[in-house]
Structure 1
Amino acid sequence: MPSHRYRLALVATTVLVVAAVAPPAQAAGAGFAAEAGPALTVDLTAATHPISPQVYGMNFAGEDLARELRLPVRRWGGNATTRYDYRLDTTNRASDWYFENIPGDDPGPGAPPDGSETDRFADQDRRTGTDSLITVPLIGWAPKDRARACGFSVAKYGPQQSTDPWAPDCGNGVRPDGTYVTGNDPHDTSAEIGPEYVTGWIAHLRDRYGDAAHGGVRFYNLDNEPDIWHATHRDVHPAGASYDEMRDRTYAIASAVKAADPGAATLGPVGWGWSSLTLSGSDQQRCAIEGCWGNPPDRAAHGGVPFGEWYLRQMRAYEQEHGVRVLDYYDNHWYPQGRGVVDDDPGDAATQALRLRQTRSLWDRTYTDESWIGEPVYLIPRMKDMAARNYPGTKVALTEYDFGALGSLNGALAQADMLGILGREGADLATLWDPPAATDPGAYAFRMYLNYDGQGGRFGDTSVASVSADQSRLALYGATRGADGALTLMVVNKTGADLTSPVTVTGRAPGGAAQVYRYGGADLTRIVRGADLPVRPAAGGVSTISATFPANSVTELVVPDTVPPRAPGTPSASRPGPRTVTLTWAPAGDNVAVTGYELARTGPDGTVGSTTTATSVTVTGLAPGHRYTFRVRARDAAGNRGPWSAPATVTTPRGTAPARSS
């Protein structure tokens, strides 16, 4: 949302390689010889972990783009959702727009809640097969009626620095001398609500869509950035939210969500950024005025425990006392604080280079954040560690993030890098704020992961060990794809030069070819299918791919699984009858996974084939007193077939005598 750009002042086996921004003279890469790039290594024998499909989500994505990408999750969030009344279909736009109540569009026949904004949001998600993430309020206030109203009336509270050009009685709550209007009446716009409001809303959603376990709304955000309510919603909550207030409000609302739909997942505390990890809203407000950052008073009153750690412990305590988990995801927003990074304008060469460097704040323990933060952030590992220590089993989410400039190639490179990091670092859910238009370069960053070939081709779902010798030049992300066993490698070139690098893959020796899909400055309107690259096997189960990655580009290498399964064990027969026999064999091994077996029998009626997914099968329709030979071979997800097993022979008995097998 726009206000995020000013928060600094307000708060005081797919491999992806991303290339950095080039100086203008080299941006196209034409006329320059390729440079030697860093070595890229992939180890399929090392530990792996699943990539959550929910990391590829967005806030408010349009229907056509969501359908094309088969978008996994879409969030209804932002400042306006903190004060929304589904019964009136009316939001308060908070500090984003003069603290005004604004009714939604005419819902059509009947009256809200049917046809309200959130109904239409969930309707779209049902059409595109996307999970819905809906924000529910903790703040305790919602619009009082379905009519326009403003929190700081000029007629009531006097002249103000700025007013709505279309509703001049609605001010921004700041007097001409720069001081805030205080003591205003929250009832000018809002009425009190509590857990019963959330219970009623979820009951309405369940009636329309079913519960979370049966196609209904799957996720609920526990408000939006409550640690800066004192700024964004100061007309109704002028005091910063304290440790205790956040605990108590979360208990009340999260337990109401779980009672209304036990299968739904909750995400909190939905903080705005870096300060949210360690400080309550009360401390952020007070220390911005008093400079008490070294010893924040609210933290001191809670044993000196940073807010995020304390919050997670309180959620664990609730489960221990009540037997109900009221927090499923530890959720925090992330907007890089480097000057100009989150702007829509890509900025000058220095800003573009900074944008690409600041993705390191998500993972790199050695990277000192180049902003007022001034220390290593390593956000995803930090959040995962906090959750593991304080409330084991809690997942990690970033329901808002934005590295800016999605209308530019530079922004697309940062976004592609971001998506690779989310999968590699094991985040569980993420939704981009302010999604790109379908024609924006930023949309192509998502396509590289979710639809690189226009036919639904997706990056792999199991992250594999992938290392670039210089991540600042070529970023590498690797994953295997369960559907067909393909290895997918994403490479982001973050430099202004074409880079030629070897990709060494351990654990997949047969040759073949790597398919090449690329997005870059040569054509910003599509992903280009390049010429296949040879995969050259070497000794010791190692293969290599040599590739040139153009300046400022994202390249995906898709290496089909060409490794056949090994032979299964020789089938053994268990006391066959005159017309049937049950065969069992030891499973075949495979570099990815066996998906089924083919059984061939040879006998008096010729050769007959059949298939099964099990390692045992009962064969029927045999003739008494005849000799049969059985062999079995394995098949994997890519369609590779392994060698036949050793044969097993079975002679069916003529009557009741047991058959002979060998």
Structure 2
Amino acid sequence: MRKSTAFLTALAMAGCTLSAPLGVLPETKVNAAGGFDMNIKVDLKGERKEISPLIYGVNQYTTDLKSVKTTAVRQGGNRMTAYNWENNASNAGSDWKHSSDNNLSDSNPPAEVVQRLSKEAAKYGVDYKMTTLQMAGYVSADKDGTVKEDEVAPSKRWNEVKFTKGAPFADEPDLTDGVVYMDEYVNYIINKLGDSQSPTGIQGYSLDNEPVLWNDTHPRVHPEPVTIEELGNKSIELAKAVKKLDPKAEIFGPALYGYTAFDHLDDDEQHTESGDVKSKNNYHWYLDCYLDQMKKASEEEGTRLLDVLDIHYYSESARTGAEDRVQSVRTLYEEGFSENSWIGQWCMQNVPILPTIKKSIDTYYPGTKLAISEYNFKGGEDTSGTIAQAEALGCFADQGVYLATLWGGEPFIISGINLYTNYDGKGGCFGDTLIPASTEDVSKSSTYAAVNDGDESKVTVMITNKNMTEAENAVIDLENASKDYKSAAVYAVYGDNDQVRLLDIVKDVKDNKVNVELPAFSAAMVVVSDDAAAFDGEKIYEEKKVTEKTEEFKDPSSMINKNGYVEIPITDPEQVSKIVINGDVTSSAGSGWATARLCSMHQRKGQGRQGFLDIQELQSPAGQGSVRYRKV
């Protein structure tokens, strides 16, 4: 990978914060004059819903666990489809030259990848871990680089996958037999880490990843489109193998990539299998068929073979820009909402999407949980990402989602999770029991509220302000409360800073009404307490004057140092609080995505070391991208 000819380095000087020049969002102020009014109703006696703690999850390979307080971690993605647990080889497929290599691990001990997952989760206090099992038919046999078109499986570049060994498991796998056994893999995991009930074990197993895209992402492994029969049969057989070894482990499937797969799997003008099956069985869409297959097989086997229906969701309208992004979550939950995309134009029969999926579950396999193991509403470089993320988590809580794991690690999106799980930097979190909450106009402001089960001394209320230019004057009315609430703290993400900050402390709560002012284009967690002194000693964030300096380097090749890296000079480094590097990202291999790694920049004082975060990695579609460094 390489960076192209233009670097823009934006520096924040004079002890202040920096925003990257976004160009599309107007400047916002903390206390904008005027603003709009919004009444927010929270009903303390309304219907209550238990919130699954696993909705605040992330994906291992896209999110640094030290940057977020999370509750679940998934090991998945395209790389896992052809992962060989015996030697830790994997294949990138069309994402990168169809390369079989050491991307996931350069170590040789079997199952090192999943053992590392367990160690990382333990380090950061993440209890729930899910990994991906291989179901497409073949895995990488080596780490020798690009697999050519004439080396499509079966060939020496691949090892065959079999779900059951039918013979005693070996203490160490046979690296010479050309076969990888899934049940032997699960048994190996159990022997090394414990079963799903062990703190170090694996709690969930995903039946591969995005099978509808196997022939697109991994054509050297599975060149033909997956069929309903193949996906159903493989899911059933692999689930049986896992359950025999670890009956309490949760099976996730089928990890479909998006809306069209929910509806018709892989049908196109040349393939009509899904349409025929739907017509014959009176199914509404493909998800009905999958649930029905798994239920019937479970009844025959005498054990549940699908614990969690697993989907991926990448919003179509969120791609079009910030204004659409902050409305995009509504497609998941709001009756009659039509988003600005082909889904809003052509697919309204399944909107809102999550209630439609839950109806399928209730009809064809009651008791099955729901997971969204990959999702992203974009907006990682501004507060539109925080707003969408915050609304999404509230939606997941309200719709009874069991597990959700964000795909991505962009700072503003990560702050949307931290707003729920660590708003005060001390582990302060959204309540575990959802209570009814509403705004007058969800297009302007969304809200979700919660208390902890059996304890109403604190009410947490998430509020968004979707207006780009005006502050929101919100009045939170805590209706039917059995307590007198006396104080509140407002934690928010706003402006050009991706961190959750204490915006205000409200001391004059009267008649259980809380008046708060939210900055334009922000997301906030309002924590209301029955203790007047609950927030004594907390320090409200003070705005500092922002000075930006932008420098353009048109010929970075002339700035390469003796170690082969582009060295960007920084004047007055003690006054710099953040650096943003923007550039045109291209791939020398012509791939649609490019990766650039930028090392940290440090200044030294005496024996100590001060500077910026360590190595940062930019993964971006070909085009523009940016990397941010924050001073530590």
TM-score, length-normalised on structure 1? 0.69
The answer to whether 1:515 aligns with 2:489 is yes
Match of 1:405 in 2: 379
Matches of 2:229 and 2:96, distance apart in 1:
30
**1:583-594 counterparts in 2 under 5 A?**
none
**Following superposition, which runs of at least 4 residues in structure 1 exceed 6 angstroms of deviation?**
22-25
Match of 2:36 in 1: 36
State the one-letter code of the partner of 1:353.
E
The answer to whether 1:559 aligns with 2:531 is no
Are the equivalent residues in 1 in contact too, given 2:58–2:407 (CA < 8 A)? yes
Structural RMSD (CA)? 2.5
Match of 1:480 in 2: 451
Q: 1:25 to 1:362 in 2, by over 3 A?
A: closer
Question: What SS class does the counterpart of residue 473 from structure 2 fall into?
Answer: strand
The answer to whether 1:546 aligns with 2:515 is yes
Q: 1:495 to 1:324 in 2, by over 3 A?
A: same
Question: What SS class does the counterpart of residue 334 from structure 1 fall into?
Answer: strand
Match of 1:395 in 2: 369
Aligned with 2:262 (options 277, 282, 285): 277
The answer to whether 1:77 aligns with 2:45 is no
Aligned with 1:234 (options 215, 219, 227): 219
Matches of 2:31 and 2:286, distance apart in 1:
54
Match of 1:191 in 2: 159
Aligned with 1:140 (options 137, 156, 159): 137
State the one-letter code of the partner of 2:251.
T
TM-score, length-normalised on structure 2? 0.72
Q: 1:82 to 1:23 in 2, by over 3 A?
A: closer
Task: Give, in angstroms, the shift of residue 280 of structure 1.
Answer: 2.4
Matches of 2:503 and 2:455, distance apart in 1:
20
- Bigger drift between 47-56 and 403-412 goes to 403-412
**1:110-125 counterparts in 2 under 5 A?**
111-113=108-110, 116-125=112-121
Aligned-pair identity in percent equals 27
State the one-letter code of the partner of 2:303.
V
The answer to whether 1:323 aligns with 2:302 is yes
Match of 1:355 in 2: 325
Q: 1:493 to 1:255 in 2, by over 3 A?
A: same
Are the equivalent residues in 2 in contact too, given 1:519–1:528 (CA < 8 A)? no
Are the equivalent residues in 2 in contact too, given 1:501–1:548 (CA < 8 A)? yes
The answer to whether 1:310 aligns with 2:310 is no
**1:190-339 counterparts in 2 under 5 A?**
190-196=158-164, 197-215=181-199, 216-281=201-266, 283=267, 286-287=268-269, 296-297=275-276, 299-300=278-279, 306-338=285-317
Question: What SS class does the counterpart of residue 315 from structure 1 fall into?
Answer: helix
Q: 1:479 to 1:357 in 2, by over 3 A?
A: same
Matches of 1:331 and 1:562, distance apart in 2:
42
Task: Give, in angstroms, the shift of residue 238 of structure 1.
Answer: 2.1
Q: 1:523 to 1:273 in 2, by over 3 A?
A: closer
Q: Which structure has the bigger radius of gyration?
A: 1
Matches of 1:68 and 1:456, distance apart in 2:
13
Q: Unaligned stretches of 5+ in structure 1? A: 1-21, 157-183, 343-349, 538-542, 564-662
Question: What SS class does the counterpart of residue 214 from structure 1 fall into?
Answer: coil
Matches of 1:258 and 1:297, distance apart in 2:
32
Q: 1:31 to 1:334 in 2, by over 3 A?
A: closer
The answer to whether 1:54 aligns with 2:54 is yes
Are the equivalent residues in 2 in contact too, given 1:514–1:559 (CA < 8 A)? yes
Deviations for 1:123-166, whole angstroms, at most 9, x for unmatched residues? Answer: 1112222121101111121112343341426xx8xxxxxxxxxx
State the one-letter code of the partner of 1:499.
E
Are the equivalent residues in 1 in contact too, given 2:204–2:251 (CA < 8 A)? yes
Match of 2:359 in 1: 385
Match of 1:527 in 2: 501
Task: Give, in angstroms, the shift of residue 258 of structure 1.
Answer: 1.0
Of structures 1 and 2, the one with the larger relative CO (CA 8 A, separation 6+) is: 2
**1:78-97 counterparts in 2 under 5 A?**
78-97=77-96
Are the equivalent residues in 2 in contact too, given 1:132–1:218 (CA < 8 A)? yes
Deviations for 1:497-546, whole angstroms, at most 9, x for unmatched residues? Answer: 10112211112241411122122116444422422243212xxxxx2112
Aligned with 1:499 (options 472, 493, 503): 472
Task: Give, in angstroms, the shift of residue 425 of structure 1.
Answer: 2.0
Q: Unaligned stretches of 5+ in structure 2? A: 1-21, 165-180, 533-632
Matches of 2:143 and 2:258, distance apart in 1:
33
Q: 1:24 to 1:399 in 2, by over 3 A?
A: closer
State the one-letter code of the partner of 1:316.
K
Between the two proteins, the alignment pairs up a number of residues equal to 486
Matches of 2:452 and 2:478, distance apart in 1:
16
